[in-house]
Structure 1
């Protein structure tokens, strides 16, 4: 332990300053998106099996909805631009811009140098949950993804159905490469339906049983063309563990919905960030 300085309390009492004020962000036209969603045609459902992952594609200007079916289940979501795997979901910047957990009206942002909105959350059936007494909330961008390397590190386990592994295999099958080649494109996730937070005493990342129930869904608007991959976590509702063959696990559905013609008149996909990198970054 280091010695506490005499002015320790004064230093601790410095005011907190929000790094990125939310009112500085472009405001998504939620009412227009919801109106388009009301009349959208359901064109496809992709079933994600327990302890596995599946890929899906969403045209720019369409919707995708992740739905709980059969029982409480969390999912790990990766997103890429349809035509460029280098542009992918940037969970760290999304966290900095919107907070540790995301909900209706928040956006998923892409990696540098693109830094544009990839998708906007337009409806959240768990929006009622808020922040609980433990400091937990749902849909986090603070965790990474369960992975076989950490399992090996902590327990010596050779576990092959971690979300990292599931996502790597699903992407490999989609783009026609080996899982080892696809692995480099798998990135930190949006933990859909997962209930997480940090302990107040030690700042430890924790999880608790997800409040999601069959029928609950999280719905997104695709601001650009998207390739997605979703893993149904081997921890089920993550109420006890997240790399397990014993936890009760359930499938997840990804529904693709396309608005009727003219429903979003004047809308255009988001464009890459306008920063001029010609000045040596």
Structure 2
């Protein structure tokens, strides 16, 4: 614990602590992951676009609805911070908090990346993960988290008084500004909490603080998703490298990441349908 209690425990403290946990958002009523359908997308897929994200930098990219997108390790262990928006309406973007509430702290094949209110629908579905073997380690860590916000210069200044200009927040802001033509202060407002691709993280057992450790990602590993709507993405190759040492530093070994977009098989496109907006919004006009 991070504090020393100042109040005595009541006589029934043990009974109170034994209350059974209840999953806040059970997902049994959601449509299941159709593994066969999404696997069919890869049977005759064609590479149609590729971007390389330099170390300590970010780029925007687009993924047409129904297409496959892979984030790929190409040279060395490197994690990435991902933002996603509806290409045609940037007010609809990735909602890390609701995704975490629905699927848990770390994501893999079959999980969905949900969008903000009022649409609250899958922006993307994770369809393949070469690191799914990792599971949970002895420290309680796993991969691809929706816990951390993103490294940023404001927290850097708060904690150690220094200025670092290649934090993922700054990288993503510059990438959005370049893509949209917006001034930096307006582009910054569009950057949101990220999906930490390849990052190995958890909570400490004593203080329950967010921790990171060296990612097991290696060249050739990838995380793949299908865009459920036309997407604009932005990916930062984190200045933490594999995040086994520190978040934001020029001393960390860092490597590029690749973003690859594939047109799926005709069989998949004939069966796949983009998800509609949340019915509450349609029924109540909010």
Taking structure 2 as the reference length, the TM-score comes to 0.95
Q: How big is the shift at 1:196? A: 0.3
Alignment of structure 1 residues 95-134 onto 2, 5 Å: 95-134=100-139
Contact 1:32/1:264, CA 8 A, preserved across alignment: no
Q: Which runs of 5+ in 2 are unaligned?
A: none
Q: How big is the shift at 1:264? A: 2.6
Q: How big is the shift at 1:267? A: 2.0
1:243 is aligned, of 244, 248, 251, to 248
2:49 matches 1:52: no
> Which region of structure 1 is more displaced relative to structure 2, 93-102 or 175-184?
175-184
Alignment of structure 1 residues 92-241 onto 2, 5 Å: 92-241=97-246
Alignment of structure 1 residues 27-106 onto 2, 5 Å: 27-106=32-111
Q: Identify if the C-alpha distance between structure 1 residues 229 and 280 changes in structure 2 by more than 3 Å, giving closer, same or farther.
A: closer
Alignment partners' CA distance in 2, 1:263 and 1:271: 18
Alignment partners' CA distance in 2, 1:263 and 1:92: 30
Other structure's SS at 1:275 match: helix
Other structure's SS at 2:38 match: helix
Alignment partners' CA distance in 2, 1:102 and 1:261: 28
Q: CA offsets per residue over residues 37-85 of structure 1, 9 Å max, x none?
A: 2211011110000000011100000010000011000000000001011
Alignment partners' CA distance in 1, 2:167 and 2:79: 13
Other structure's SS at 2:8 match: coil
Alignment partners' CA distance in 1, 2:50 and 2:168: 21
Contact 2:118/2:281, CA 8 A, preserved across alignment: no
Counting matched residue pairs gives: 281
RMSD: 1.3
Contact 1:60/1:222, CA 8 A, preserved across alignment: yes
Runs of 4+ in 1 over 4 A off after TM superposition: 276-281
Alignment partners' CA distance in 1, 2:206 and 2:173: 35
Contact 2:43/2:265, CA 8 A, preserved across alignment: no
